[in-house]
């Protein structure tokens, strides 16, 4: 199916019918939509949309139009936003000398500093370029060989530039203007770009394709652009859909739900290890027994399908490539503590870092204090606090209230052997401030509020 990599659904002309717009998109086979932010405010709006709609992903960035008030401090704001699990890139960023809403120097500084952020976070960039081709290409050439990945959206460069960018592994996309009758030049550029380097985008609410020109654009019109690409490249529309979806997966890490069970999966620069689907708890907010899908990865695993440590190790390869190897998934990893230890030993012997995301019931589950066994194997223990109140904890997790004390004890003991973080999901009934105070002052470990998992 189709992925719209560029739709500004936070624009006010979607306010009254956004739910309908999403439904239209899904009905047209557009199953994923990336909403690029253009300022701090719209980046936050894009994240809210990603929270609300499963099919929406977000990227955060300051558009060249919004860089008049650029200060380097904004990087910290953006950096915070990149931590949201549905933020899949930095953008849109770039240069726009056509409108010239912001001074050139500001635009260039903002562009470069946001590229640096993307490199630091190993996120792709989404680049906007209007009448600034020379400067954009020069800046991009400066990053040659430094691992920069990205998309040139609403491409208006030459065949030569497109060739250079494709050779460097960048992706290129054309919105509805490629369907305009007089856009023969644009179609020639499109023809020159291999399908392996193309993405689909609408640039909604702008650039409405024929025959809806003049109306507000929306993601449901994406197949019209895919059709034009199919025609120019002499492919079927299915082939265009398949190739561009695969490209979106390669660049942004988002993809269609897979039926194949996933043992390891990548988010950002971490590799997550799906150890088990089993758990001693039954949290009210957990989708463990439901679809158990994260970012399109199917984590639903029967006990009989649980792989041996050696299989995970094969999939990990070189652990030093990643920031962290994280034991996670929809299940409690300490249920397979021996496997976790074996994998961790391999990771630590090969220069990697390990983190275990746990409910903190590992010692009860294994009927012995397992915390000393973490020594030199587990770098970080991330424990779900869920609530400071044992009764509420028991109700949320559907466990015995005494498990709250067990979990706190586990956290305190773990401190001797690893860095400990306690976290809560941002549930409204939980008092975040109280939780933070409790964690840092009474348990004496780090606190984090997390969104999903």
Q: Which of 66, 218, 306, 332 binds ligand SF4 (CB under 6 A)?
A: 332
Does residue 59 have a cis peptide bond before it, meaning omega lies within 30 degrees of 0?
no
The residues in 291-320 that bind Zn ion, with binding defined as CB under 5 A, are: none
Q: Which of 7, 25, 165, 279 binds ligand SF4 (CB under 6 A)?
A: 279
Is residue 331 part of the contact set for ligand SF4 (CB under 6 A)?
yes
Q: Which residue from 55, 52, 39 is spatially nearest to 4, judged by alpha carbons?
A: 55
Question: CA 350 to CA 138: how far, in whole Å?
Answer: 38
**Which CB atom, from 54 or from 282, has the smaller least distance to ligand SF4?**
282
- Say if CB 62 and CB 70 are below 8 A apart: yes
Q: Which residue from 347, 299, 343 is spatially nearest to 322, judged by alpha carbons?
A: 347
Is residue 128 part of the contact set for Zn ion (CB under 5 A)?
yes
Q: By rule CB under 6 A, what count of residues binds ligand SF4?
A: 11
Distance of CA 386 to the CA centre of its chain: 24
Binding partner at 332 among Zn ion, ligand SF4, none, C-beta below 5 to 8 Å by kind: ligand SF4
How many other CB atoms are there within 10 angstroms of residue 305's CB atom?
11
**Which CB atom, from 128 or from 295, has the smaller least distance to Zn ion?**
128
**Which CB atom, from 50 or from 286, has the smaller least distance to ligand SF4?**
286
Instruction: Build a one-symbol-per-residue string for 376-415: x at contacts with ligand SF4 by CB under 6 A, - elsewhere.
Output: ---------------------x------------------
Is residue 324 part of the contact set for ligand SF4 (CB under 6 A)?
no
Residue with tokens 């979106």: 248
Find the part of the chain contacting ligand SF4 (CB under 6 A) among 246-254, 262-270, 281-289, 308-316: 281-289
Is residue 359 part of the contact set for ligand SF4 (CB under 6 A)?
yes
Cβ burial, residue 251 (10 Å; 0-12/13-18/19+): buried
**Which CB atom, from 95 or from 339, has the smaller least distance to ligand SF4?**
339
- Say if CB 76 and CB 113 are below 8 A apart: no
Residues ≥6 apart with Cβ < 8 Å to 432: 424, 426, 449
The residues in 87-116 that bind Zn ion, with binding defined as CB under 5 A, are: 92
Q: Which of 286, 339, 347, 420 binds ligand SF4 (CB under 6 A)?
A: 286
- Say if CB 245 and CB 256 are below 8 A apart: yes
Residue of minimal CB distance from Zn ion?
128
**Which CB atom, from 221 or from 265, has the smaller least distance to ligand SF4?**
265
Does residue 92 have a cis peptide bond before it, meaning omega lies within 30 degrees of 0?
yes
Is residue 120 part of the contact set for ligand SF4 (CB under 6 A)?
no
Q: Which helix (H) or strand (E) holds 344?
A: helix 337-349
Q: Which residue from 231, 59, 237 is spatially nearest to 153, judged by alpha carbons?
A: 59
Buried-state track 430-447, b at ≥16 Cβ within 10 A, e below 16: beeeebbebbeeebebeb
The residues in 38-97 that bind Zn ion, with binding defined as CB under 5 A, are: 92
Q: Which of 32, 153, 228, 288 binds ligand SF4 (CB under 6 A)?
A: 288
- Residues found near Zn ion in the complex (CB under 5 A): 92, 128
Site of interaction with ligand SF4 (CB under 6 A): 279, 281-283, 286, 288, 330-332, 359, 397
């Amino acid at each position: 199916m189709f992925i719209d990599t560029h739709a500004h659904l936070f624009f006010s002309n979607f306010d009254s019918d956004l739910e309908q717009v999403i439904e239209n998109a899904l009905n047209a086979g557009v199953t994923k939509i990336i909403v690029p932010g253009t300022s701090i405010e719209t980046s936050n709006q894009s994240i809210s949309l990603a929270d609300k709609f499963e099919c929406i992903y977000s990227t955060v960035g300051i558009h060249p139009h919004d860089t008049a008030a650029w200060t380097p401090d904004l990087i910290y704001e953006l950096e915070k936003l990149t931590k949201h699990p549905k933020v899949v890139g930095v953008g849109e960023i770039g240069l726009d000398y056509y409108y010239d809403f912001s001074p050139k120097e500001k635009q260039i500084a903002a562009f470069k500093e946001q590229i640096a952020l993307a490199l630091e976070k190993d996120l792709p960039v989404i680049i906007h370029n209007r009448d600034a081709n020379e400067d954009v290409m020069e800046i991009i050439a400066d990053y040659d060989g430094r691992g920069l990945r990205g998309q040139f959206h609403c491409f208006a460069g030459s065949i030569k530039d497109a060739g250079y960018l494709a050779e460097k592994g960048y992706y290129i996309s054309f919105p509805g203007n490629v369907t305009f009758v007089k856009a023969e030049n644009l179609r020639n550029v499109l023809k020159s770009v291999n399908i392996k380097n193309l993405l689909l985008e609408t640039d909604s609410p702008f650039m409405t394709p024929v025959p809806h020109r003049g109306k507000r654009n929306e993601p449901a019109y994406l197949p019209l652009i895919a059709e034009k690409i199919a025609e120019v490249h002499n492919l079927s529309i299915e082939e265009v859909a398949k190739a561009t979806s695969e490209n979106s997966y390669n660049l942004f890490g988002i993809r269609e739900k897979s039926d194949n069970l996933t043992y390891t999966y990548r988010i950002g620069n971490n590799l997550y290890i799906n150890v088990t689907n089993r758990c001693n708890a039954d949290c009210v907010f957990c989708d463990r027994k439901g679809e158990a899908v994260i970012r399109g990865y199917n984590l639903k695993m029967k006990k009989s399908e649980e792989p041996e440590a050696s299989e995970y190790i094969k999939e990990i390869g070189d652990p030093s490539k990643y920031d962290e190897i994280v034991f996670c998934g929809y299940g409690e990893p300490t249920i397979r503590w021996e496997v976790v230890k074996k994998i961790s030993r391999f990771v630590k012997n090969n220069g990697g870092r390990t983190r275990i995301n746990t409910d903190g019931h590992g010692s009860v589950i294994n009927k012995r204090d397992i915390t000393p066994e973490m020594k030199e194997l587990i770098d970080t223990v991330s424990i779900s606090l869920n609530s400071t109140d044992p009764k509420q904890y028991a109700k949320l997790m559907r466990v015995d209230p005494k498990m709250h004390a067990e979990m706190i004890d586990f956290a305190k003991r773990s401190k001797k052997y690893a860095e400990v973080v306690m976290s809560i999901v941002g549930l409204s009934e939980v008092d975040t401030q109280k939780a933070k105070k409790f964690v840092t002052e009474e348990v004496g470990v780090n606190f984090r509020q997390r969104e999903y998992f």
